[in-house]
Chain A
């Protein structure tokens, strides 16, 4: 079978990451602009060379298309806003790669920023849902006590536990291995070692989830610049080539027979990305997976085919995902321990690892990096296979 014509046709040539975490007093658009400037400098590109811009905003409002004005970009050939929640970052790279491959644009900046944390407020307040009186059937969930995303993901994890016997300690194994990676990342918010005992002692938010099953909430911005493979070789940093791309979206539509919770669109998205990259899970040397919750990692590994359905719990035990493990996963500390900029968290770490720039946390083999994005309640999925190798 001939290689996919777009395999390694484009590359990520620039990465910009602002300060992340409890950084107050700056609107999201300000983080976005800074991230673009940092990515340009990282790539060795002049701002005037940029001819494509894709903007993804978080929950705090902004950035939007006025970012072009803020950056001083007088003319662009490709400019749009995109949002599919946590799958947006991988989707931006996909759309940018298509724009570059078609010749619609040459250098496309893909930027996400958010600033949901406010001084004096807890992280829970940012994603907590409405406080007022909700109207009609739409208000029912609030009346029962469903607010924000945590209960919905907790229900998904609990169903997996009821169906397959997955245990709390197995979810904890993901929190522990992710924290072990965070120790090697100076940017990570939580770097102190975590044991399974420490995980068990962390308070429940919504059973089966402890606090430590849930990601951080962070302010900050991130940008990657996608360009053609040949052009990327002439730029400042080693290219990280886009080998595979996939997307899939599934909804339960309120129907009893459907189940996105234990069988996500990661199945189709992962298969599409691996097929385009011409490889299988056996070729994947590390994973950067969307870890809004520990469970998201477990179900994504199953749906990508690293293990059988229902066996994700056993798969993540024994340090397989941690430093020194057979499948290094979320090597920067992920959204659980480092910072939460939606899909930019796994994507940015994939770029760092793909360049071999991970320092103390560099995983031994970066030849095929699988990156996931997940949005909604396991509804929207996007996958990338990235590599420093051209073939």
Chain B
């Protein structure tokens, strides 16, 4: 499945604001925005911290660790480029940094349920892009 994913046309295209995330993912690091004033981690990417109102948001390496919030198995592709990967094991992870991330379970890794401890690994997503996915820690 990893090879299948690498051969896929990418669905997502980095833009200026998200470039640090994708650049880090390509080298196997989960990187997120963090408020320099109150230290709150951010997801989605923002211009202003909703916790303290500061505009001083910088990118920082996250632990890649978290717990499963929920999971679902998609039997239909939401995008034509994903048909070869069906079924898709969607997993939403509450990261140790306090933000919730919607992602997928790592291909071929054991099933997960809510509360399981997980860690991020990275799967190719076409054209040199990689996406963080999660497997049991």
Interface residue A198 (Cβ < 8 Å from any Cβ of B): no
Instruction: Find out whether the CB atom of B103 lies under 8 angstroms from the CB atom of A144.
Output: yes
21 A-B pairs in the complex with CB atoms less than 8 angstroms apart: A131-B80, A133-B11, A135-B14, A136-B12, A136-B18, A138-B44, A142-B12, A142-B78, A143-B10, A143-B131, A144-B102, A144-B104, A146-B90, A146-B102, A155-B92, A158-B114, A162-B115, A206-B72, A206-B75, A252-B100, A256-B99
Given A162-B113, A162-B114: A142 touches B98 (CB 8 Å cut-off): no
A-side interface mostly = mixed
Which of A142, A143, A156, A254 is in CB contact (< 8 Å) with B100? A254
Which of B18, B75, B80, B131 is in CB contact (< 8 Å) with A207? B75
Interface residue B76 (Cβ < 8 Å from any Cβ of A): yes
> In chain B between 14 and 41, which residues have their CB closer than 8 angstroms to a CB of chain A?
14-15, 17-18, 21
**Residues of chain B with a CB closer than 8 A to A140's CB:** 12, 102, 131
> In chain B between 74 and 130, which residues have their CB closer than 8 angstroms to a CB of chain A?
74-80, 82, 85, 87-88, 90, 92, 94-95, 98-100, 102-104, 113-115, 125
Which of A138, A145, A163 is in CB contact (< 8 Å) with B90? A145
Return the CB mask of A117-150 against B: 1 if under 8 Å, else 0.
0000000100011010111111111111111100
C-alpha spacing A135/B19, complex, angstroms: 10
Residues of B that sit less than 8 Å from A by CB? 10-15, 17-18, 21, 42-45, 50, 66, 69-80, 82, 85, 87-88, 90, 92, 94-95, 98-100, 102-104, 113-115, 125, 131
Return the CB mask of A248-275 against B: 1 if under 8 Å, else 0.
0000111111100100000000000000
Residue of A nearest to B45 (CB): A137
**Residues of chain B with a CB closer than 8 A to A162's CB:** 70, 113-115
| 6 A-B pairs with least C-beta separation | A147-B78, A256-B94, A162-B114, A139-B12, A159-B70, A145-B88
Instruction: Find out whether the CB atom of B88 lies under 8 angstroms from the CB atom of A134.
Output: no
Place the interface of chain A in its size category. 35 or more
Instruction: Find out whether the CB atom of A144 lies under 8 angstroms from the CB atom of B100.
Output: no
**Residues of chain B with a CB closer than 8 A to A154's CB:** 72, 74
Instruction: Find out whether the CB atom of A135 lies under 8 angstroms from the CB atom of B70.
Output: no
Supply 8 further A-B pairs (C-beta < 8 A) apart from A133-B12, A144-B104.
A124-B76, A135-B12, A135-B15, A139-B13, A144-B90, A154-B72, A206-B72, A254-B100
